[in-house]
Amino acid sequence: MIRIILIAAFVLVTVLIIGNFLANRNQNSRESSVIY
């Protein structure tokens, strides 16, 4: 059970980091600004 929580937390953090990176890269487009 603890392993599942750790994996879920790791995946969530990874998705947030990738999403933040893509948002900073595509700051010109309005679509990325809608997410935040």
Give residue for tokens 């600004």. 33
Is residue 4 situated within a structural domain? yes
Containing structural domain, residue 7 = 1-25
* pLDDT in the model for residue 22: 86
Is residue 33 situated within a structural domain? no
Is residue 14 situated within a structural domain? yes
Q: How many domains does the chain have?
A: 1
Q: 12-35 pLDDT, tens per residue?
A: 999 999 999 888 877 666 555 555
Is residue 32 situated within a structural domain? no
Three-class SS string for the chain?
Answer: CHHHHHHHHHHHHHHHHHHHHHHHHCCCCCHHHHHC
Q: Distance between terminal CA atoms of the chain?
A: 31
| Chain centroid, CA 22 distance in Å | 9
* pLDDT in the model for residue 29: 60
27 CB-near residues (< 8 Å, 6+ apart): 33
